[in-house]
Amino acid sequence: MPRPTAAQLAYGSCTVIFSTLAMLLLSQTSSGLGIAVITLSALALGLLVAVTVPLPKRVRSGSLAAVPAPAPAPVQERVSAQRETASVSASVSSVSSVSSASVSAVREPAGP
């Protein structure tokens, strides 16, 4: 049997403590038999909660089916990404044309 995780221990312990207090306060019992029944039922409830806490899924080595495929981006995000790429490339080409024009203007000697 695998060891319980920290989450299982925490949820189970909290369930036992709070359910015991709640049942004792609501029933207002003072007999030993009533307290024993409430204590045992709180322990059973805590055990049930600890066992049903979802465990992290383990990936088996060599299993590609366990790895989820990334979800495709929505159409709006893809369109905006394409627009950003186009605007960046246009900016780069305009900067390069301006810099090449300024370099050629500097290289050409001034006419008499």
Residue 23: pLDDT band (50, 70, 90) is very high
Q: What is the dihedral of CA 42, 47, 50, 51, to 10 degrees?
A: -150
Please state whether the predicted TM-score (pTM) of the whole model is above 0.85: no
| Size (the chain), residues | 112
pLDDT at 22 over 90: yes
Which residues, at least 6 apart from 9, have a Cβ–Cβ distance to it below 8 Å? 50
Q: Which run of H or of E encompasses 101? A: helix 75-107
pLDDT at 37 over 60: yes
| The pLDDT value given to residue 19 | 94
Separation CA 35–CA 88 (nearest Å): 73
pLDDT tens digits along 55-90? 667 666 655 555 566 666 666 666 666 666 666 565
